[in-house]
Amino acid sequence: MSAFRTISSTVGKHLKMTVFGGSHEPSIGVRLEGLPDGFSAADIDMEKLQAFLARRAPGSTPYGTARKEADAPVLTSEDPLTFEIYNKDQHSGDYKGLMNTPRPGHADYTAGLRYHGEINMAGGGPFSGRMTAPLCIAGGIALQILAKKGIAIHAQLVEAGGVQSANVPPEDDPMYQRILAAKADGDSVGGRVRCVVSGMPGGIGGAMYDGLESLISPIVFGIPGVKGVSFGDGFAVCGMTGSENNDPFCMEGDSADVKTTTNHAGGILGGISNGMDIIMDVAFKPTPSIAKEQQTVNLAAGKETTITVGGRHDPCIAVRAVPVVEAAMALGLLDAMLDPSL
């Protein structure tokens, strides 16, 4: 039996998701409570769910870590709905010697302040990007439920290392070449993922902490490496006037649907969907694990030192985060749509 404490984290107002485990623990998992009435494990298309998880899984592209995990979800409980993934390709030895030398940019030091060595921090422990696999199980289920309501969610990497995507195959895209250049240099780059929701009906959400942004953002910020979330034009509104930022209303089609001629708001007004596409941008920091020598401290000796981080790491975590962002968006939207007052 492990002497380490297992960490779990819960988010959601009407639909509650709990993620548990750690990167180098025997398993990681997720529990969902508050799913739509009548929904059960039998309603999940496991083939589609596995295909969705494969988009996030490591070891499949030169732009990500070489760690290989099948990410096969195992149903361990139907009430509440619980899935686990058993970790198999663990190299915990890559992290020996780091207990007293916290890695720059990682949660090693702050986790020590908070948990006092009670949790297994190999591979980042519960702070690792590995924890997005169970999040994608929950989000993949939410995506299937939303798809039956005509709601589609699509995300893509639009910027990495300050280079915007040219929307061409990766081998020809300067954005991906920037990622490979950083990898070759033993370094990493940050990235921006854009997520677009189509088919979202108007009138979902609420004021203040019942607003769509308020329900979606905590799930997104739970994704390791996320440093910023914005909706619509985001921070660009700081340099706009009201006449530029306001979206004029118009009547569209034979049914005279109310639409807007522009979408600076990103499909949300006052925390409530207005029927336009929901647009969200997510900023990811550069992967903190890099091959370059870095300065740190030796906590046991009480002096400064240097380290070189080993292991297998993504040169840009935003690449594999694309489906994770879709999962987080799906969970936030489904949470809002399950509000019993609607």
pLDDT tens-digit map of 149-161: 999 999 999 999 9
What are the tens digits of pLDDT across the range 298-324?
999 999 999 988 777 899 999 999 999
- What is the model's pLDDT at position 59? 62
pLDDT of residue 313: 83
Domain count, the chain: 1
Predicted local confidence at residue 1, as pLDDT: 43
The two tokens of residue 75 are: 């149903």
Tokens of 23: 């990167």
Helix/strand/coil for 228: strand
DSSP lists the bridge partners of residue 304 as: 297
Q: Is residue 242 part of a domain?
A: no
Q: Which two tokens stand for residue 330?
A: 């799906």
**1 inside domain:** no
Q: Is the pTM of this model over 0.85?
A: yes
Gap between the Cα atoms of 57 and 42, Å rounded: 24
pLDDT of res. 340 = 96
Domain CATH for 63: 3.60.150.10
Cα separation, 5 vs 24, whole angstroms: 13
pLDDT under 70: residue ranges of the chain: 1-2, 58-61, 64-70, 89-98
Residue 110 inside a domain? The answer is yes
Q: Is residue 14 part of a domain?
A: yes
CA 236 to each of CA 64, 93, 239, 272, 284: distance values in angstroms, whole numbers, following the listed order: 30, 45, 6, 21, 18
Q: By residue range, what is the domain housing residue 111? A: 8-232+267-337
Asked whether the beta carbons of 324 and 139 are under 8 A apart, the reply is yes
Question: Is 24 contained in some domain?
Answer: yes
By percentage, how much of the chain surpasses pLDDT 70?
Answer: 93
Which amino acid would we find at residue 182? A
State the Cα–Cα distance between residues 14 and 34, nearest whole angstrom: 6
pLDDT at 2: 58
pLDDT for 88: 77
Residue 254 resides in a domain: no
